[in-house]
């Protein structure tokens, strides 16, 4: 179903049986590397996929008019990599292991800070103990004491309520953001095996969260979280409440990247991340990486190898 390079195919739902197990086998914890994420954002990033003769899969796309490629399942031979770097502007979502190997091969590599995933300890988000979470805990307490609320697993029977939340969220914004992907995620929850929670205030749908297990099995990634209404402490309550119902096997919650948005970065940092899933960009020339502006520091091969 997936053509051999240089032929390319759009990403469609029928590819899930082949690709989902491969993504689940990855251990790097990169939030983009799930079938659901690639599928849901296929139009946003113009994703296409191809199979290499080595059996690896190549994903190509575009951001802001600039082409990129991704190799989630491994690196091919250098001759073929050279061809890809000549054809596409950069390689995106480079893992730490890949970054080291690419640096050894002589490619320019830079931290893609804007796309670092924020990683939180699930237990800390549940308990919110200590001075560093004092404000968050107070906001949760305000919400719990002030509103009549109810939380439920986001099952198919509550899908229309979640869609209503999403529509109201969209109507309140000047730009659509991830609306299209979020809508399709709700419509295809069962096909994509996504799970989440939905929250009601005064018996009215008010918020939902939706995500999935990442490869390796110890992290759960939140792909979408939407809330409506002027309920003080709503987001903090949803964050804590959903973390509390996740199975204990999930040590970490991955809340994805900030995309360089300073307000979002500040908000994510207030939850005191336990760490980051670092991602890198690679290219043939250093000036390409500076032009992309990924929010990270350019590093020489020597410096990069010493930091990984």
> How confident is the model at residue 146, as a pLDDT?
97
- Kindly report the CATH number assigned to the domain that includes residue 127: 3.40.630.30
Same domain? For 138 and 48 the reply is no
Residue 226 lies in a domain: yes
Same domain? For 134 and 270 the reply is yes
Same domain? For 271 and 123 the reply is yes
pLDDT tens sequence across 154-167: 999 999 999 999 99
Residue 164 lies in a domain: yes
CB of 178 closer than 8 Å to CB of 165 = no
Cα angle value 182/190/60 (rounded, 5°) = 55
Residue 247 lies in a domain: yes
Residue 2 lies in a domain: no
Return the half-sphere exposure (C-beta side, CA atoms, 13 A cut-off) of residue 17. 2
Same domain? For 269 and 300 the reply is no
Residue 253 lies in a domain: yes
Same domain? For 142 and 266 the reply is yes
Please report which confidence band the pLDDT of residue 292 belongs to, taking 50, 70 and 90 as the band edges: confident
**Helix runs in the chain, H state only:** 16-24, 35-40, 78-87, 96-104, 122-127, 134-146, 159-171, 179-187, 189-192, 234-245, 262-269, 286-292, 301-307
Q: Which two tokens stand for residue 196?
A: 């989440």
pLDDT tens sequence across 170-197: 999 999 999 999 999 999 999 999 999 9
Number of domains in the chain: 2
Same domain? For 40 and 102 the reply is yes
Same domain? For 127 and 163 the reply is yes
pLDDT tens sequence across 107-163: 999 999 999 999 999 999 999 999 999 999 999 999 999 999 999 999 999 999 999
Same domain? For 181 and 271 the reply is yes
Stretch 22-34: mean pLDDT: 97
> How confident is the model at residue 86, as a pLDDT?
97
According to DSSP, the residues that pair with 139 across neighbouring strands are none
Same domain? For 103 and 140 the reply is no
CB of 136 closer than 8 Å to CB of 237 = no
Return mean pLDDT, the chain. 94
Stretch 23-28: mean pLDDT: 97
Please report which confidence band the pLDDT of residue 1 belongs to, taking 50, 70 and 90 as the band edges: confident
Same domain? For 137 and 68 the reply is no
Residue 3 lies in a domain: no
Residue 213 lies in a domain: yes
As a whole number of angstroms, the distance between CA 303 and CA 301 comes to: 6
Same domain? For 75 and 184 the reply is no
Residue 18 lies in a domain: yes
Q: Which domain holds residue 86?
A: 9-116+278-307
Same domain? For 164 and 176 the reply is yes
Q: How many other C-beta atoms lie within 10 A of the C-beta of residue 60?
A: 20
Q: Which two tokens stand for residue 83?
A: 């061809």
- DSSP line for 33-63: -SHHHHHHTTTTTT-EEEE-TTS-EEEEEEE
Q: Which residues contact 227 (CB under 8 A, 6 or more apart)?
A: 165, 169, 199, 206, 207, 234, 235, 238
Q: Which residues of 62-78 are buried (b: 16+ CB within 10 A; e: fewer)?
A: eeeeeebbbbbbebbee
Does pLDDT of 253 surpass 50?
yes
Q: Which two tokens stand for residue 58?
A: 């190549």
pLDDT tens sequence across 35-67: 999 999 999 999 999 999 999 999 999 999 999
């Amino acid at each position: 179903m997936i053509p051999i390079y240089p032929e390319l195919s759009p990403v469609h739902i029928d590819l899930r049986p082949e690709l989902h197990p491969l993504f689940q086998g990855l251990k790097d914890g990169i939030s983009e590397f799930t079938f659901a994420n690639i599928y849901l954002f296929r139009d946003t990033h113009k994703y296409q996929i191809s199979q290499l003769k080595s059996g690896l899969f190549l994903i190509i796309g575009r951001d802001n008019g600039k082409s990129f490629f991704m190799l989630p399942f491994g690196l091919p031979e250098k001759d073929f990599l050279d061809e890809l770097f000549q054809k596409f502007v950069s390689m995106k979502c480079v893992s730490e292991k890949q970054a080291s190997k690419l640096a050894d091969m002589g490619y320019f590599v830079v931290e893609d800070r804007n796309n670092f995933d924020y990683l939180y300890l699930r237990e800390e988000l549940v308990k919110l103990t200590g001075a560093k979470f004092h404000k968050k805990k107070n906001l949760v307490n305000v919400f719990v004491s002030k509103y009549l609320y109810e939380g439920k697993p986001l099952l198919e029977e509550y899908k229309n309520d979640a869609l209503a939340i999403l529509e109201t969220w969209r109507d309140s914004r000047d730009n659509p953001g991830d609306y299209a992907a979020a809508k399709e995620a709700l419509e295809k929850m069962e096909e994509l095996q996504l799970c989440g929670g939905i929250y009601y205030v005064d018996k009215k749908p008010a918020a939902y969260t939706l995500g999935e297990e990442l490869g390796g099995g110890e992290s759960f990634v939140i792909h979408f979280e939407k809330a409506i209404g002027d309920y003080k402490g709503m987001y903090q309550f949803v964050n804590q409440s959903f973390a509390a119902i996740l199975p204990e096997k999930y040590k970490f919650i991955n809340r994805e990247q900030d995309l360089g948005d300073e307000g979002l970065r500040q908000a994510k940092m207030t939850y005191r991340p336990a760490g980051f899933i670092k991602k890198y960009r690679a290219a043939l020339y250093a000036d390409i990486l500076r032009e992309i502006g990924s929010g990270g520091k350019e590093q020489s091969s020597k410096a990069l190898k010493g930091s990984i």
